[in-house]
Amino acid sequence: MPSGMEVFGFLTGAACVALLVRENIWNWPIGIANNLVFIALFYRAGLYADVGLQAFYVAISIYGWWSWLHGGRDHGALTVSRIRLPAAISLALAVAATTAVLAWLLRHFTNSTVPVLDSLITALSLAAQFMMTRKWLENWLVWIAANCLSVGLLIYKGLYVTSGLYLVYQVLCVLGWVAWRRALRAGIAVPGQPVEATSSAG
């Protein structure tokens, strides 16, 4: 029987990603509420890297909220763009280094039974969330990779409702990729945001 926290996490998580697909600014406060619930849920399950990840989400969501409102051209709303190669290489190296450090920490200082996988998911999610704050299109591809790993891990840990949430995330991530790519090609913002002629991201 799913707990009340899992159900709340499912609903707020799905709502958050659905709003992200439409570039709706309300995804950030709803996402923060979702993060707080999962901090408690993952702590109980012994997924300590994920606890830290959710805490980071709270902090970066505040930045993302500001960035979407004021990080664009002339401090206006931010529009979708593609990540540049130097930034992509830097993020890939950061994912590798973060995975290695977190896995070492989890092996030596916690009772985690899945230190490497937990750490890799955390590192990928950190990168994807940062990319999301800059509205880089490719964030959706990184989320898809992280979610695939998360579904398997959550099933292994017996968090079946939460694993179902991540399957919903996958569908929404594909929709997000399609919507943002279409918006980028058309040179307009996704519905819910004002149109800008050019992007200032990255």
In angstroms, the CA 50 to CA 39 distance is 8
Could you give the number of structural domains in the chain? 1
pLDDT tier at 33 (50, 70, 90 boundaries)? very high
66-89 pLDDT per residue, tens: 888 876 666 667 788 999 999 999
Decide if 200 is inside a domain.
no
User: CB-side exposure of 53: number of CA atoms within 13 Å?
Assistant: 27
Residue pointed to by tokens 């997924």: 47
Phi and psi, residue 23, nearest 5° = 55, 35
Strands (DSSP E) found in 58-105: none
Report whether 77 contacts 189 (CB < 8 A).
yes
Residue 192 lies in a domain: no
Structure tokens at 117: 């996988």
- Which pLDDT band, with edges at 50, 70 and 90, does 121 fall under? very high
Residue 191 domain-assigned (yes or no): no
For residue 195, is it within any domain? no
Q: Nearest-CA neighbor of 32 among 45, 19, 43?
A: 19
**95 occurs within a structural domain:** yes
Would you give the distance in Å from CA 73 to the centre of its chain? 24
The pLDDT assigned to 45 comes to 82
The answer to whether position 33 is within a domain reads: yes
Predicted local confidence at residue 197, as pLDDT? 28
What tens digit of pLDDT does each residue of 101-111 get?
A: 999 998 998 88
Residue 82 resides in a domain? yes
Q: Is 194 part of any domain?
A: no
- Which structural domain range is residue 146 located in? 4-186
